[in-house]
Amino acid sequence: MATQKKRSPEKRLEIGASVLAAARAVDTRLVKDRLQRFEEVHRTFVGAQRKVDGVEAQMQAVQARLAELDAAQDGALAKLACSVSLDRESLDNPFEAFGFPPPKTLIRRPFAEEAAAIHQLVAAVLRGKDTGEATRKAAHAADKAAREVEEALALLPKIRSSVREARRTRDAVGQRWEAALRVLRRHVIAAADEGAPELYVTLFPPVSRAVGKPKPPEQPAGTGVQPSNGAQTTSDAQPTGGAQTTNDAQTATPNAA
């Protein structure tokens, strides 16, 4: 038995809104109960999708903030490297004396690993007897930047859990939505035999799909025709009479399913 293609949440919202809007313009007494049931489930699905949108927006905001904080962490680490280089006159790897790799290696590490390394590095720098005052300030600034990254990272597990839970709830309601739509469709079809033949085409109008032009064959190599991302192409060759010839073939873009 063929399985029905899974609809996206966006498609469910679109179909539900279309059906309910059309129902307001036609007599639906023959399917009143089934239509009311579908409307209730659709309203629940809309609320569940809004919850998903809300928590996903929160997660995106935290991720964006985390990216900003990591950039600040990288900058603070670079400043610390410059300050240590001035103290120790080291150009290759200013952190070598403390047992750490160069800054570019630390920066490439994942957020949490870089932050943890910075804390250890700062502790080693502050223990140094020849650490200057400017370097100490840079070390404290780097330590603070790493701590802010860790605080932002700590928010992600809870938000990710909220996103998963919201999606599970939305998908569960989506199954009820699909069932309610199938039942409504069957009753609307049956209503045609009871004197409402227009009900089905009103609630479930056929979807018209535009058919694109077939793609023209490729031009043989050496003709001088240059592709231009689906725009009209013009041959560079000139006829003997001096009139320029234009290739009218356009690349058709197939419609999205």
Three-state helix/strand/coil letters over the chain: CCCCCCCCHHHHHHHHHHHHHHHCCCCCHHHHHHHHHHHHHHHHHHHHHHHHHHHHHHHHHHHHHHHHHHHHHHHHHHHHHHHHHHHHCCCCCCCHHHCCCCHHHHHCCCHHHHHHHHHHHHHHHHHCCCCCHHHHHHHHHHHHHHHHHHHHHHHHHHHHHHHHHHHHHHHHHHHHHHHHHHHHHHHHHHHHHHCCCHHHHHHCCCCCCCCCCCCCCCCCCCCCCCCCCCCCEECCCCCCCCCCCEECCCCCCCCCC
- Whole-structure pTM value: 0.71
Supply the pLDDT for residue 225. Answer: 41
The percent of residues in the chain predicted with pLDDT above 90, rounded, is 70
Is residue 211 scored above 90 in pLDDT? no
**Residue range 223-250: average pLDDT?**
42
